[in-house]
Structure 1
Amino acid sequence: MSRPDHAVSPLIVQDLHAWYGASHVLQGVNLTVQPGQIVALLGRNGAGRSTTARALMGMVRARGKMQWRGEQWLGRRTFDIARAGIGYVPESRDVFPTLTVLQNLALGVRRGGPPSAWTMSDTWTQFPQLERRAHTPAHALSGGEQQMLSLSRTLMGDPALVIIDEPTEGLAPMLVEQVARCLEALRDRGRSVLLIEQRLDIALQISSRLYVLGHGKIVFEGSPDTLRLDAAVRRDWIEL
Structure 2
Amino acid sequence: MKPLLPALFLGLGLSTATTTPAAAYPVDCAILLCLAGGWPVSAECGHSHAVFIRRITPWPIEPPLQIWNCPMRVGLRGEQRPTERLYDIVFRADLPPAALSLPVVPASPILVDAQADVDISDPAFDFVRSIRVFHIERATQYWRGGNNDVCHQAQSVQLGSYGVQGDFIWQRSDVGAVPTAFDGLQGWRGSHAYDSASCPRLNQRAVFVEWRDHEGNYGFEQVNY
Whether TM-score is above 0.5 comes out as: no
TM-score range, shorter chain: under 0.3
Bigger relative CO (Cα 8 Å, ≥ 6 apart) = 1
Structure exhibiting the larger radius of gyration computed from Cα positions = 2
Relative to the length of structure 1, the TM-score reads 0.24
Q: Which has the higher helix share?
A: 1
